[in-house]
Amino acid sequence: MPVISMFYGIIIRMYFMDNQQHSEPHIHALYSGMEAVFRIVDGSVLAGELPTKQLRLVQAWIELRKDELAADWDLAVAGETPYKIEPL
């Protein structure tokens, strides 16, 4: 469960071979004991919740880093370590 980025107290993770439960490319965002799963394609929430401000920050970050996230997803699904991605 590598951490690929951190910003404003939000930790972004991408799990190895994590294409079973949520079959589409996604990330996990953790903030203050809360967790949400976001689709990489459009930033929509697949599961969980975050406070509105943090949710919007993660969605903005996804929009800016979509290509890097897609490349990291391919690595993680193959069991390889994804690269760190610049924070917001």
pLDDT at 26: 94
- 12 CB-near residues (< 8 Å, 6+ apart): 3, 4, 5, 6, 27, 28, 29, 58, 61, 85
* Residue 88 to residue 81: CA distance in whole angstroms: 21
Number of domains in the chain: 1
* Residue 86 belongs to some domain of the structure: no
Domain housing 8: 3-77
Is the residue at 82 inside a domain?
no
pLDDT digits (tens, 9 = 90+) for 37-71: 999 999 999 999 999 999 999 999 999 999 999 99
Helices (H), the chain: 52-64, 66-77
Is 88 inside a domain boundary?
Answer: no
* Residue pLDDT, tens place only, 69-82: 999 999 998 889 99
pLDDT digits (tens, 9 = 90+) for 11-33: 999 987 766 665 789 999 999 99
Structural domain includes residue 38: yes
